[in-house]
Structure 1
Amino acid sequence: MASNDASRDDKKSWNTHKLGLRIGADALAASAAGVLVAPLITMIDKGIIENASGRNTLGESLRASARELLLKPHRFLTGKPFALIYILYFGTYFTANTIDTASSTMHNTPLSSTTAGTPKFLATSTSNLALCLYKDNRFTQLFGPASSSSARPVPLPTFLFFTVRDCLTIFASFNLPPLFAPTFARHMGAAAQQYVSAASAAQFLTPAAVQIVSTPLHLLGLDLYNRPGVRVLRDWAKSAGARMGRIIPAFGVGGVVNTKVRRGLLGRLE
């Protein structure tokens, strides 16, 4: 009898109130973040890969993509590269959001509460890695060396470098900001936080900072596909800058938008 009573008490502690609507809010927040960041990320990813393959310079590639977005937006927004990027970030943020919703359901915490533990890292990393490796495979083939007569398979070592790169980025994007936010709050002061919250500052800076370490892995992976030799040192500074410019909107702006939209939607349900 005691065990049955305990089981009933555990079930009562779960907060399943409006669970379907909460998952819908998770999806809407992830979609808003994905739509917002996908155009810029598409241009930057294409530029980095074309620059690494020698197909185009980073600047010329960015300018060509910007012209297409401005003059032929329907073509840009319905293209395969944009779709791949949107699906990548929608899937990543939706996974993170649903982990938070599952945690608030099981622990009966506020609907908009977030987590920063191992389950969230593992789930978000798995989702991001699967989607990102597929995206990288397609981008590398689409925008690789122009002289290639056909798209070659991406070698396993390239996937391994990309995997470590993405694990570093995901950890810095979803797990480190909640941990570093109190430190940012202590050093920013009340005046600065009137303009940018400590949580938002941490969300912007930690994913960008990790690119200093992860960019060489990205370039090594691309060089293994593009050419026998490597040019990591030559391209590191330019590519690291481009990847920081990519990550700040992807997990900085996107992370803040996802969090604020989700919090606003769930606040209406509470």
Structure 2
Amino acid sequence: MHHALQEAQSSNGILQRLTGDLCAAAASATLVSPAVTIIDRAIVEQTSLNQSLLRGLRTHALEALRNPARFVYSAPFRIIWTLYAATYTVANGTDTIGNSMMIPATGMITFASTTLVNVPTAVWKDVRFAQIYGTLTHACEGIQKKPLVPNRSFMRGATAIFLLRDCVTIFGCFTLAPRLADAIPESNFLAAHPNVKPVITQLTVPMLTQVVVTPLHLLGLDLYMRQYTMPLADRLTQSQRYLASTTMVRCIRILPAFGFGGVANLEFRSLFHKTFDVS
């Protein structure tokens, strides 16, 4: 009887933690989605329509401020919100269940499950944004998009590179950042402020991963946009022309998604766990 009561209490505690995880994921996704939506739209339009990135960022940010309701209820915002809500939910829930069951490989399981959810959802997001913004015609500017005839070999190569890109990003955000936080030496200041270490790594590690993944991102885009055989050296030379500027933009883009978003998720998660009387 006593054992059954303990199991019931334990199950109720896990359910409360998972409820807090879901609330934290929804709140974090809502917080980061506006910035990510604006940035991703500007990047797609720059790539497909050769428009100024800064002009796109300014224009879409002003539109969001003038018509916030229309912006929030738009399809692009819903797509971005779904992507990050799903990612944070799986990361939080897997960590909660793994720690509750005292599974030694919880970190790697969290990384694997988050990757399985984030990567296909991110690909779906990229396709939808390309469909919405990448096929626009601007007659007044003389821009006319031509349909791309896909080549399966190049498509598979680009998809594999994007998969590797996203795996590195997810590993850095959800696995490497917490481990590096634990590795930071203690000091009087850090001892007095225990949340500083995870905040530092959650803001810096996602940005540093972009130094690694941006060349992969550019190569994948080149394979997708130029689906014909050419020497590898020429392809690498062409694809990496804008490496420095693209790396900077991707570092800025990753901050709201997995930097500030990751910190917000940690804080919201702790808050909701306490709200549901979970230690």
TM tier, shorter chain? 0.7 to 0.9
Distance 1:241 1:118 in 2: 29
* Larger deviation, residues 176-185 vs 130-139: 176-185
CA distance 1:56–1:90, change in 2 (3 Å):
same
Alignment deviations for residues 55-87 of structure 1 (CA, whole Å, 9 cap, x no partner): 312111111211111112222211221111111
Map of 1:132 onto structure 2: 122
Q: How far apart are residue 131 of structure 1 and its match?
A: 0.7
Map of 2:162 onto structure 1: 162
TM-score normalised to structure 1 length: 0.83
After superposition, residues 159-238 of structure 1 pair within 5 angstroms as 159-186=159-186, 189-191=187-189, 197-227=196-226, 231-238=238-245
CA distance 1:198–1:151, change in 2 (3 Å):
same
- Give the AA of the match of 1:241: M
After superposition, residues 1-270 of structure 1 pair within 5 angstroms as 12=7, 15-107=10-102, 117-144=107-134, 146=137, 147-148=144-145, 155-186=155-186, 189-191=187-189, 197-227=196-226, 231-268=238-275, 269-270=277-278
Map of 1:5 onto structure 2: none
8 A Cα contact 1:169 1:207, kept in partner: yes
8 A Cα contact 2:25 2:85, kept in partner: yes
CA distance 1:257–1:115, change in 2 (3 Å):
farther
- Give the AA of the match of 1:218: H
Distance 1:216 1:255 in 2: 24
8 A Cα contact 1:173 1:203, kept in partner: yes
Distance 1:93 1:144 in 2: 28
Match of 1:218, SS state, is helix
* Larger deviation, residues 134-143 vs 154-163: 154-163
Q: Which runs of 5+ in 1 are unaligned?
A: 1-7, 109-113
- Give the AA of the match of 1:267: K
- Give the AA of the match of 2:199: S
Distance 1:265 1:75 in 2: 29
Across the aligned residues of Structure 1 and Structure 2, the Cα RMSD in angstroms comes to 2.9
Once the two structures are aligned, what percentage of the paired residues are identical?
34
Distance 2:15 2:149 in 1: 43
Q: Which runs of 5+ in 2 are unaligned?
A: 138-143, 228-234
8 A Cα contact 1:141 1:152, kept in partner: no
8 A Cα contact 2:95 2:107, kept in partner: no
Distance 1:34 1:144 in 2: 24
Q: How far apart are residue 152 of structure 1 and its match?
A: 6.5
- Give the AA of the match of 2:173: S
CA distance 1:233–1:133, change in 2 (3 Å):
same
Alignment deviations for residues 5-59 of structure 1 (CA, whole Å, 9 cap, x no partner): xxx89x9599313433322211110011101111111111122222233431211
TM-score normalised to structure 2 length: 0.81
* Larger deviation, residues 146-155 vs 78-87: 146-155
Distance 1:220 1:50 in 2: 19
8 A Cα contact 1:185 1:198, kept in partner: no
Distance 1:58 1:12 in 2: 55
- Give the AA of the match of 1:124: T
